Amino acid sequence: MAAGRARALGLATRGTTNPNRLRRIDRWLVGTPWVADVVRGAADPLVVDLGYGSSPVTTVELAERLRVLRADVRVLGLEIDPERVAAARPAAAPPRLEFGRGGFELAGRRPVLVRAFNVLRQYPEEQAAPAWRTLLDRLAPGGLLVEGTCDEIGRRCCWVTLDVGGPRTFTMACRPSTIDTPSDLAERLPKSLIHRNVAGERVYALLAELDVCWAKAAPFAPFGPRARWAETVRLLADQGWPVLDRWRRWRLGEVTLPWSAVAPARPAPSP
């Protein structure tokens, strides 16, 4: 990770973004009690949106969506590219919503929650864990990091949720009507897992089992893709996979499991 002027750690992303691209992750943040409670109970409800891209739209949306948790929540959008920061500042509404220059060092701030999407995709696999640690070391006590990847319009997403002790959960979310099989989400696995979708790895086994369950859930197709996804996840849980959420989340096209269910079986290659 390179350090530029003002010690902003990291590299600029491609910058592509779209309105509502991160609506699935935002809905999960607000609707998952153990995550939402971190924001609700924070002494200082500061949230950082890291690497928001060429437009601040998804940061603006995050600030609006988090207000249902606390009216005084503050969101800080951080970008390494100073031109992106300057372009975003007209959308600021201090103190509720601000923009600044920063990277993995989080501009010296101590947020209770960091959302970092499509940030690590450009890095080698072996740099994912050090980037996680850099971010985790800068969280406020009890804080969380949510790091992942999604497609350009937010219909296929995967993310990892971490606390200071490391990864806690892995979530997949999609619009079920846009997939042929659940393994279509493999292309959106986070950097820590995308190279592990091979035989012998846990995430490969998960995706394979989801495809089997999807096929078995075909009789639910007349009730719509969301009903078929929910039945797929129910069948997955019946096979012994430690699914953490319940039917209400499944109907949204989601499934969350403990990180241990997908953690790489082998260490990342050395740099």
Which pLDDT tens digit goes with each residue over 145-157?
999 999 999 999 9
* Structure-block tokens of residue 219: 């009789």
Asked if pLDDT for residue 6 goes beyond 70, the answer is no
- pLDDT, mean of residues 151-171: 97
Give the whole-angstrom CA distance, residue 106 versus residue 77: 10
**So what's the pLDDT on residue 118?**
94
> Alpha carbon of 60 to those of 11, 119, 248: distances in Å?
22, 18, 27
Which pLDDT tens digit goes with each residue over 62-97?
999 999 999 999 999 999 999 999 999 999 999 999
* Structure-block tokens of residue 212: 């089997």
More confident call, 8 vs 210: 210
Asked if pLDDT for residue 195 goes beyond 60, the answer is yes
Beta bridge partners of 113: 47, 144
Contact 202, 139 (CB under 8 A): no
**So what's the pLDDT on residue 77?**
98
Amino acid making up residue 168: R
- pLDDT, mean of residues 107-122: 95
DSSP type of residue 268:
P
Beta bridge partners of 174: 156
**So what's the pLDDT on residue 3?**
40
Give the whole-angstrom CA distance, residue 204 versus residue 209: 9
CA 215, 221, 224, 230 dihedral sign is negative
pTM, rounded to two decimals? 0.93
